[in-house]
Amino acid sequence: MLVLGIETSCDETSVAVLDGDGRVLSNVVSSQLAAHAPYGGVVPEIAARAHLENLPVTFERALGEAGIGVPEIDLVAATAGPGLIGALLVGLSAAKALAFARGVPLVPVNHLEGHLFSAFLRSSGEAALAVEFPFHGLVVSGGHAELVRVEPERIVPIARTRDDAPGEAFDKVARRAGLGYPGGPVVDRIASRGEGSRYPLPVGRPGDGSNDFSFSGLKTAMLRELQKRGVTGDPLDPDSLAPDIVDLLASFQRAIVAALLDRVETVHKTDAIRALAVSGGVAANSELRRTLSRWGEAHGVRVLLPERGLTTDNAAMIAFAGLLRYRKNGRRDPALAAARSRWPLGS
């Protein structure tokens, strides 16, 4: 069994080939960072056009690296949402054409579900870990913060962000600090030499007793702190920042990690978590990985983390989620697969 995955929901064009054991045979990611960099964010029309240009060569490379040809593909999985509609349509239309031409099934995949199961994938050559239900999932990226309970037949939402996603907070703060885009990796690196307990920063929680996340208050507080120190967005060299700014960024990262851990702990008190799969771009964060792993060890919770290369958007996770869906739901008419800009997990 060979599964071809296609991901085009935002600014990465990616194609992957997995076998029926979830072994990653290839996972080619073509980033559009340079195309969007002059605008300081992702421009939907540019993204769609770039996917159209990048997809054919990404596809050829993925097949080449896996050492397979089109006739060997048994199943096609493509991201159908949530994401930028024009971008999604490029990958999904290509997937439909391929499935139709080959007469093989097509699975439309929820991008967040792709992240959710990415924690079970191993590096090339190794089969995926067995997925044991129920488990809890924390998806933290540039667009999402979702805590869910994953059962064999359904995904139950527990908490999501009311405003900014954690990756978005990293990106906006880094931009204001003159550290470029994306902000997560550079702040992560700077924070490793800072004192994260120096500036206790506020992390909001909705007053209605819900477990939802909120990161916009923290972001605003950070922007104010930067402004107070005369940092207004002019490019700064991450390696020669004032110690005070280094500690401030470390404290900001500490606050985000603390908020995520706090919610995991709260849920664990009422619904004993056996396994926690952490995923999405922010799951690459060193402090988050360390903190959650230690918490897991202390509480007997198995904490699954994707390898860093599988935390940001990629097609291997889409192929894997598609394979699991196909095994559960079977064959559907490819013509019915529709792109959805909004598609909450569990719906």
- Number of alpha carbons in the 13 Å side-chain half-sphere of residue 331: 8
Strands (DSSP E) found in 151-191: 155-160
* Residue closer to ligand KG4, measured from CB, 128 or 284: 284
Could you give the CA distance from residue 142 to residue 48 in angstroms, rounded to a whole number? 18
Q: Say if residues 213 and 145 touch (Cβ distance below 8 Å).
A: yes
> Which DSSP symbol is given to 309?
G
Number of residues that bind ligand KG4 (CB under 6 A): 19
Check residue 9 and report its DSSP letter.
Answer: S
Q: Which pair of structure tokens corresponds to residue 216?
A: 């916009």
Cα–Cα distance, 191 to 195 (Å, whole number): 8
Which H helix or E strand runs over 20? none
Query: Using the rule CB under 6 A, is 167 a contact of ligand KG4?
Result: yes
Distance CA 123, CA 274 (A): 24
Cα–Cα distance for residue pair 68/60, rounded to 1 Å: 10
CB of 143 to ligand KG4, least distance (A): 4
Residues 6+ positions from 40 with CB-CB distance below 8 Å: 175, 181
Q: What does the per-residue mask of binding to ligand KG4 show for 239-278, with x meaning CB under 6 A? A: ----------------------------------------
Per-residue contact track with ligand KG4, 5 to 24, x per CB under 6 A? -----x--------------
Q: Sign of torsion, CA 306 312 316 322?
A: positive
Q: Is it true that the peptide bond before 306 is cis, omega within 30 degrees of 0?
A: no
Amino acid (one-letter) located at 137: G
In the complex, what is the shortest distance from the CB of residue 80 to ligand KG4, in angstroms, rounded to a whole number?
A: 15
The angle that helices 243-270 and 286-299 make with each other, rounded to 10 degrees, is 30
Nearest-approach distance from CB 140 to ligand KG4, in angstroms: 8
Using DSSP, state whether 179 is helix, strand or coil.
coil
- In whole angstroms, the minimum distance from the beta carbon of 320 to ligand KG4 comes to 15
Residue 182 contacts ligand KG4 per CB under 6 A: yes
285 binds, among ligand KG4, Zn ion, none (CB under 5 to 8 A by kind): ligand KG4
Give the contact letters, 127-166, x = binds to ligand KG4 (CB under 6 A), - = no: --------------xxx-----------------------
Q: Which is nearer to ligand KG4, 108 or 142 (CB)?
A: 142
Distance of CA 38 to the CA centre of its chain: 23
Distance separating alpha carbons of residues 249 and 227, to the nearest angstrom: 13
From Zn ion, ligand KG4, none, interface partner of 196 (C-beta below 5 to 8 A by class)? none
Q: Please state the closest distance from residue 112 (CB atom) to ligand KG4, in A.
A: 8
Q: Report the residue from 5, 86, 105, 280 that binds ligand KG4 according to the rule CB under 6 A.
A: 280
* 118 binds ligand KG4, rule: CB under 6 A: no
Q: In 3D, which of 117, 142, 144 has the Cα closest to residue 128? A: 117
Is 284 one of the binding residues for ligand KG4 (CB under 6 A)? yes
Rounded-to-integer distance, Cα 174 and Cα 184, Å: 8
CB of 100 to ligand KG4, least distance (A): 28
Binding site for Zn ion (CB under 5 A): 141, 313
Give the shortest CB-164-to-ligand KG4 separation in angstroms. Answer: 10
And the tokens for 4?
């071809």
Q: How far is the CB of 141 from Zn ion (least distance, A)?
A: 4
10 vs 231 by CB, closer to ligand KG4: 10
CB of 115 to Zn ion, least distance (A): 6
Among 32, 118, 251, 285, binds ligand KG4 (CB under 6 A): 285
Which of these segments, 21-29, 90-98, 178-186, 227-235, binds ligand KG4 (CB under 6 A)? 178-186
Which spans of this chain sit near ligand KG4 (rule: CB under 6 A)?
A: 10, 141-143, 167, 170-171, 182-185, 188, 280-282, 284-285, 312-313
